[in-house]
Structure 1
Amino acid sequence: MLTSAQMKPALLTGHPCISLAAPSLNQHEQRRPTHTSVAPLLKQRIPPHSWDSHIHVVEPQRFPVSPAALYQPSTHTLVDALAFESTLGIQNMVLVQPSVYGSDNSCLMDALTKIGPERGRGIVVVDPTTVPTETLNEWHALGVRGLRVNLQSIGRVMDQMELERTLIQHADIARPRNWIVEVYLPLNMVPLFEPIVPRLGIRICIDHFGSPELSSVLRYHDRTPFDPYALPGFRSLISLLRGGHTYIKVSAPYRLSKDQHLRDLLIMAREFLHVAPGRVIYATDWPHTRFTGVDIGPFTESCLQLCADKPGLAERLFRRNTEEMLGMLTV
């Protein structure tokens, strides 16, 4: 077992500010490309053949959302997604099944079929007890490379026994296909998750910084240094990253933090890159469902700055780590 000192290396300092404020888009503007405030610079600096490893395509008119959906999304098509990615200079994307579609992956598969496996991959949601093997094999041929277990979006809480059973069922599907299992759960559940992962025999990806509750860290004043190891579950997350089979997405900062905590997320990202530079994944979370007016440009710029002092790190964060995680390169 790692000692406290081993688990908590000296945290890096000098974190750039990021801002996510931008004018809101109305219904008539939603199909226009989402231009970022620093797009020209980003297009020149983002590594070639980069991946946006977490986006959603949603077309409720063509593919009705689940009756159990917690919100009614706007339309965001593959054409919209490609226009958005072009503003960043990103060529490739991973389509992730959003919660509003439940286990009906029709919209995702329609988009993935159109973009093709040369530029796209997919992460689907299934009922592991009923999904046909033939369907899984067809999806694999079209570029699906993982299964998603989403607890956070729907507020579902599992005890360790139920979580283990669910993950084993998904791992049994993923393992023979060399797929990943992508998990969206709150950070305070990661200690339950940690002892299960080594027994699954697959690669795991955790969404959106691990979904920390940043307000849980008590501060006496604004200048108190943020210590991510004070977050419930952060040590377990770091332990999983050190273990070698878990990846973490730095994505969707606006879901986790108001302005006063954005620096905290960058401190977390620095620590992830310090501990496991080969297992940190960049993503935008476009189209930022349930949020409007998000400008992801400044966050992307901050991710590039985090890599500035280490040759090759930006290519890992924006490209190679995603390709290794999805089995496109030798791990």
Structure 2
Amino acid sequence: MSFEKTSGWLDWYAGPSRPKFTLPAGSVDAHCHVFGPGDEFPFAPERKYTPCDASKAQLFALRDHLGFARNVIVQATCHGADNRAMADACRSSNGRARGVATVRRSVTDRELEALHADGVRGVRFNFVKRLVDFTPKDELLEIAARVGQLGWHVVVYFEAVDLPELWDFFTALPTTVVVDHMGRPSVDQPLDGAEFQLFLKFMREHGNVWSKVSCPERLSLAGPPALNGEQSAYRDVVPFARAVVEAFPDRVLWGTDWPHPNLKNHMPDDGLLVDFIPHIATTADLQRKLLVDNPMRLYWPEEFWQ
């Protein structure tokens, strides 16, 4: 099946540099995606964008190039609740990938068990209105209760301005809750401003809440070195991500977000994204927790605790 990309869609960067930062052995890229390929895994009719193809083989090649040992593959919104591309990538990884699915209330127990066997360990609830249509919260709570019985967690994607209205729902979830990209803070606002401090309070008061300190390319106003001539990429995001890592070192994750859906201004060099890590996790201990211990504890507990 042939698909025409959304106008202006930026394809992923095909020549990533080799990072200067050496990742700890066993590091996990804990947030990435696969798109199609569309002729094998068609995109959802209800999708709000049509991406480029980004296959499992290309993802695994990037994993090896950057020095990661494993991936966590998050279901892309362009595939809706059809998890076949993500599940196929997990099955093809020889145990080196886990998945986060999107499911509907109609999913059967047998289908959930099959996803678990494929390597899925979480479901994602997306609250970014420009990407998905609204799903009733009672349906999401029902799904969370069901997947909680499998030991899965819930990943939530939202924008910082919406946290006050979502707070009660998030705190009612019966599982571990993983927040994508620090809840997308506005990095032009002060670190000690109300918006970001509310997010830190959310994590501080609820010990089941984790955060990915990923996607500086999505949050930054300063941009990468190629655009602004600075030595440190995405420097305006560093204080926010570092604050989360240092306050909650046992509840943070990091991922490339490859192949970087819906970016408008530039497509990042994934090698430079890896070199962002030591700016936000400044010691070997913090780096190991962020990249190895925490993702292993959440996605491969049977190996972490043995």
Q: Give the TM interval when normalised to the shorter protein.
A: 0.7 to 0.9
Report the AA paired with residue 79 of structure 2: Y
Match of 1:171 among 144, 168, 172: 144
Give the distance between the partners of 2:281 and 2:117, measured in 1 at CA: 34
Residue 271 (str. 1) matches residue 243 (str. 2): yes
Aligned length in residues: 282
Contact 1:241 1:279 in 2 (8 A): no
What stretches of structure 2 of length at least 5 have no aligned partner? Answer: 1-8, 225-233
Contact 1:33 1:84 in 2 (8 A): no
Give the aligned partner of residue 132 of structure 1. Answer: 108
Give the aligned partner of residue 287 of structure 1. Answer: 259
Residue 48 (str. 1) matches residue 25 (str. 2): yes
Residue 257 (str. 1) matches residue 210 (str. 2): no
Contact 2:33 2:257 in 1 (8 A): yes
Contact 1:178 1:327 in 2 (8 A): no
> What is the CA deviation profile of residues 183-219 of structure 1, one whole-angstrom value per residue up to 9, with x for unaligned ones?
111112222333333432210011122112334x3xx
Structure with the bigger RCO (C-alpha within 8 Å, sep 6+) is: 1
SS of match in other structure, 1:286: coil
- Identity, % of aligned positions: 27
Give the aligned partner of residue 16 of structure 2. Answer: 35
Report the AA paired with residue 277 of structure 1: P
Q: How far did 1:266 drift?
A: 0.9
Question: Residues 327, 198 of structure 1: CA spacing in aligned structure 2 closer, same or farther, 3 A cutoff?
Answer: farther
* Structure of greater Rg: 1
Q: How far did 1:105 drift?
A: 0.8
Match of 2:92 among 93, 114, 118: 114
* TM-score normalized by the length of structure 2: 0.83
Give the aligned partner of residue 3 of structure 2. Answer: none
Match of 2:287 among 311, 314, 331: 314
Give the distance between the partners of 1:151 and 1:104, measured in 2 at CA: 18
Give the distance between the partners of 1:107 and 1:98, measured in 2 at CA: 9
Give the distance between the partners of 1:257 and 1:65, measured in 2 at CA: 29
Question: Residues 112, 157 of structure 1: CA spacing in aligned structure 2 closer, same or farther, 3 A cutoff?
Answer: closer
* TM-score normalized by the length of structure 1: 0.78
CA RMSD in angstroms, aligned pairs only:
2.5
Question: Residues 100, 92 of structure 1: CA spacing in aligned structure 2 closer, same or farther, 3 A cutoff?
Answer: same
Question: Residues 244, 183 of structure 1: CA spacing in aligned structure 2 closer, same or farther, 3 A cutoff?
Answer: same
